[in-house]
Amino acid sequence: MQDVKTESAIALQAVPEGLQAEAKGVSLRDVTKRYGSFAAVQNITLDIQAGSYTCLLGPSGCGKTTTMRMIAGHEDISAGDVYIGDTRVNDLPATQRNTAMMFQSYALFPHKTVWDNIDFGLKMRGLRIDERRRRVGEILEIVGLTQFSDRKPGQLSGGQQQRVALARALVTRPQVLMLDEPLSALDESLRVKTRGELRKLQRQFGMTFLQVTHNQDEAYSLSDQIVVMDHGRVDQVGTPVEIFSRPLSKFVASFTGDNNIFPGTITSAVQDTQGQLIQLDVPNLGTLLCQGDYAQVGTEAACCIRADLMQITSLAEAEQSVAGPVNNRVTARITAIEFTGYVTRVSLVLERGGMEVLYKARTPDWLTTSFTEGQVVVLDWAAADCVFLPH
């Protein structure tokens, strides 16, 4: 098997005219998929811009793969409409939607060479042999596999097999390329490298990429738009920064980052320059302040603070400083300190209420402190960093 370290990176270059295709957007309108009485996807309305990279993000069983398969034509739609560009494709077979799908397993023909694997789709479309040779040769050069064209998949590394699968999909000039967990079979270092190459390819071709993943790091690094799904529904749509910094629900906050979530009841909501300063009464803890919009006094909601946006101090240091009027302060006991490389994760239990919380620090910063397991400390965070979660 070819050593991973000898793989050449995908070179950023102009895509030959023969491999270009006009990118199309995708629109879903009230799309539902039922299996008997079970609704795997429920009333999804979604717009994916032409030429963008969109990730469907969520846990196993949330409906993301089913959604993608309905777009591709591999699953029937129970209700609603799917458009590719301006064309309603509900009744079109997969072969007439001008899309391509790269499967999680790559689904390469083990008995065919790299060249023949890539050529297969073109051959099925009835292209002339000279056109096929030109296209296959061009795509092999783009993905850096020209020298491996006569090898079988079993003679390639995992990263090289993935490039073959990508080349086979791209060579057909689809208007939308769909990728089902394409990086899950790779080890961590190769996964990081390959996701950069995926993004590079998407920019080269200007094609609409739609990827299914349960890995938030993949979604953050690849996407123009992230669609977070839960129980067959779209929970939030936004840019990676929006999803990471401003989750809109307890589910999104818990799934997409190391957020500490505090459920409670809204007792006050006052408009300020940044939206609303919201006061939340948290059972067994007291009052927390957060920032958000459209809060209704008396309703149940929650707030969250990212683990890396908290400040930690000793009891003695905290006694010498007073928390500001729009700051939150709690005392907690350190229960575990976990070194994970560049970041150190600190688990704590609040002195009031017993809730478990997480604090994260850059390891170089943490090593300048003297905190130990079992020590009682003070955690502070600003209301401006504390995100209101309406549901």
DSSP states along 176-231? EEEEESTTTTS-HHHHHHHHHHHHHHHHHHT-EEEEEES-HHHHHHH-SEEEEEET
Amino acid present at 350: L
What's the rounded Cα separation, in Å, for the pair 209 and 218?
13
Hey, which bits of 254-310 come out as E strands? Answer: 259-272, 275-282, 286-292, 300-306
Please name the residue that has the structure tokens 């969250």: 304
CA distance 340 to 361: 11
258-389 and 4-245 share a CATH fold: no
Question: What pTM, to 2 d.p., does this model score?
Answer: 0.88
pLDDT in tens, the chain (391 residues): 334 333 445 544 555 555 556 789 999 999 999 999 999 999 999 999 999 999 999 999 999 999 999 999 999 999 999 999 999 999 999 989 999 988 877 788 999 999 999 999 898 888 999 999 999 999 998 888 999 999 999 998 888 888 898 889 888 889 999 999 888 777 777 788 888 888 888 888 889 999 999 999 999 999 999 999 999 999 999 999 999 999 999 999 999 889 999 999 999 989 877 778 999 999 999 999 999 988 889 999 999 999 999 999 999 998 887 767 778 999 999 999 999 999 999 999 999 989 999 999 999 999 999 999 999 999 999 999 999 999 8
Per-residue pLDDT, 276 = 87
Place of tokens 């749509």: 237
Q: Give the end-to-end CA distance of the chain in Å, rounded to a whole number.
A: 50
On whether the CB atoms of residues 175 and 20 are closer than 8 A, the answer is no
What per-residue confidence (pLDDT) applies to 144?
87
Q: Would you tell me the crossing angle of helices 158-170 and 129-142 to the nearest 10 degrees?
A: 140
From 202, 300, 296, select the one nearest 249 (Cα to Cα): 300
pLDDT value for 21: 62
The CATH architecture annotation of domain 4-245 reads 3-Layer(aba) Sandwich (3.40)
* Model pLDDT, residue 14: 54
Distance CA 238, CA 174 (A): 25
Q: In what order do the strands lie in the sheet with 208-213?
A: 99-102, 176-180, 208-213, 53-57, 225-230, 233-238
Extents of the domains making up the chain = 4-245, 258-389
Angle between helical axes of 129-142 and 114-124 (0-180°, round to 10): 130
State the CATH architecture for 258-389.
Beta Barrel (2.40)
Measured over the CA atoms of residue 64, residue 68, residue 69 and residue 73, the dihedral's sign is positive
